[in-house]
Amino acid sequence: MEAIQTILTRRSVNFFDPSFKMSDNEITEILELAALAPSSYNIQPWEVITVRSPERKKALRACAFNQPKVEEASAVFIIIGNTDAVEENLDAVAADLVEKGYADEKTAESVKKTAGGFYGAPDSERRKVFAARNAGLFAMNLMIAAEGLGFVTHPMDGFDEDKIKEEFGIKSGKVIPMLIAVGRFKDGASLPDRKMRFSSERFAKFE
């Protein structure tokens, strides 16, 4: 199955072709596929800033401990966990439930109340975890989508979150689980062996 092949071949790549520019359509396709990720109550608490101009990549690199791939990749996605998404998105999510016949109006209203209460106040720790959890799934889906379309990626959490928020005008209460560099693999480069993984015997148990 293609999904298995993609999981097997995806790598965090440090060799981007710096001359390659992805088109807006290619970037949009990746984002639309990434948005098929599952999310709590389908609230989809993610936002993305796609950084692709040389000047803005340079500014982002300065926030990301000077990691060269930030400038060498065609684009870098700033993945944002939107802690305001419960308030912003629940109406549309509930309307969709009614439209698709998942729920009647009354049930949709009660879903709104339950979901609205379940993830804490917008500035709470619980809300940050909720946003980061869902944005993380979005991020993984994005990497798989990019890989499936023939691109390579590299996730990064080596950055100064406050600095990125200031530079890119992101509200301080939101969370940035990671950046993802995306682009084309550099001709002639070869990947080192994949780093080790612990076996499931070590990290999982059956009950």
The footprint of ligand FMN (CB under 6 A) covers 11-12, 67, 155-158, 178, 194-195
In degrees and rounded to multiples of 5, residue 47 shows phi and psi of -140, 155
Backbone Cα Rg of the chain: 19
Q: Minimum CB separation from ligand FMN for residue 139, in Å?
A: 8
Of residues 93 and 132, the one with the C-beta less far from ligand FMN? 132
* Residue of closest CB approach to ligand FMN: 158
Q: How far is the CB of 33 from ligand FMN (least distance, A)?
A: 19
Least distance from ligand FMN to the Cβ atom of residue 98, Å: 37
Residue 69 or 165: the one with the smaller Cβ distance to ligand FMN is 69
- Collapsed DSSP state (helix, strand, coil) of residue 47: strand
Give the per-residue SS3 of 138-203.
HHHHHHHHHHHCCCEEEEECCCCHHHHHHHHCCCCCCEEEEEEEEECECCCCCCCCCCCCCCHHHH
SS3 category, 36: coil
Q: How far apart are CA 42 and CA 103, in angstroms?
A: 14
Pick 45 or 177: Cβ nearer ligand FMN: 177
Residue (1 or 8) nearer to ligand FMN, CB: 8
Return the number of the residue (90 or 142) whose C-beta is nearest ligand FMN.
142
- Rounded least distance, CB 206 to ligand FMN, Å: 26
Q: Which is nearer to ligand FMN, 117 or 158 (CB)?
A: 158
| Least separation in angstroms between CB 101 and ligand FMN | 38
Q: Tell me the HSE value of 92 on the side-chain side, using a 13 A CA sphere.
A: 9
Among residues 62, 30, 33, 59, the alpha carbon closest in space to that of 180 is found at 30
Max CA distance (Å), the chain: 60
Q: Least Å distance between CB 126 and ligand FMN?
A: 21
